[in-house]
Homo-oligomer: A and B are copies of this chain.
Amino acid sequence: MTQTNEPTDEAEIRSVIEKWVQAFRSKSVVAAMALHAPGIVSFDIVPPLRYVGVDVYSKPFEAAFAAFEGAIDLELRDPSLTVRDDIAFTFSLNRFVGTMTGGQESDYWFRWTACFQKIDGKWLIMHDHTSLPTDFASGKAVQTLDP
């Protein structure tokens, strides 16, 4: 167990979270991937079940950013943050707003959980989980809920 400086670590992780938001707003796949551990295991909002590694995980980011012609906005509602030693986790309800290339408006709240590890002195996302709830009666992902 290495010694930790929790207030500094918290500030550094909050900065990673802020950069993650900015990566969406600037639609930068490179900026987004720089925040993830090389071995990231992601349960993303889109299929398949799991993405492993930044090369693979960059693909849904590329597809999502290409699908929105204008600005993307992302709002995080009160992300919690728990830090000990060299690991941490955060979770929040996030709002995604954007206009697709076909003109369709997208505006929904989703759930986000991210687990961090400090690797070579740098806090990186090593696992994340992003989703909508499922209405099993209709088989639909529910995009109409507010926090």
Q: Which residues of A contact B (CB under 8 A)?
A: 1, 4, 6, 41, 43-50, 80, 82, 84-87, 89, 91, 93, 109, 111, 113, 115, 117, 127, 129, 131-136, 139-143, 145-147
The residue in chain B whose Cβ has the minimal distance to the Cβ of A93 is B49
Contact call A133/B46, Cβ cutoff below 8 A:
yes
Residues of B within 8 A of A89 (CB): 87, 89, 115, 127
> Which of these, B44, B49, B113, contacts A129 with CB under 8 Å?
B113
Cα A133 to Cα B131 in complex, Å, equals 7
| 16 other A-B residue contacts (CB within 8 Å) besides A41-B80, A49-B111, A82-B87 | A1-B84, A43-B113, A43-B131, A43-B133, A44-B133, A46-B134, A47-B133, A49-B109, A50-B93, A50-B111, A84-B84, A89-B127, A111-B131, A136-B141, A139-B141, A139-B143
Please report the C-alpha to C-alpha distance between residue A46 and residue B133 in the assembled complex, in whole angstroms.
Answer: 5
A84 to chain B, nearest CB (A): 4
User: Shortest CB–CB separation between residue A112 and chain B, in angstroms?
Assistant: 8
Q: Which of B4, B45, B129, B146 contacts A134, CB < 8 Å?
A: B45
Q: List 14 A-B contacts (CB under 8 A).
A: A1-B85, A43-B133, A48-B133, A49-B109, A49-B133, A49-B146, A50-B111, A82-B115, A87-B89, A89-B127, A111-B131, A132-B134, A139-B140, A140-B140
Q: Is the CB of A115 within 8 A of B117?
A: no
Q: Do residues B82 and A117 form an inter-chain contact, with CB atoms below 8 A?
A: yes
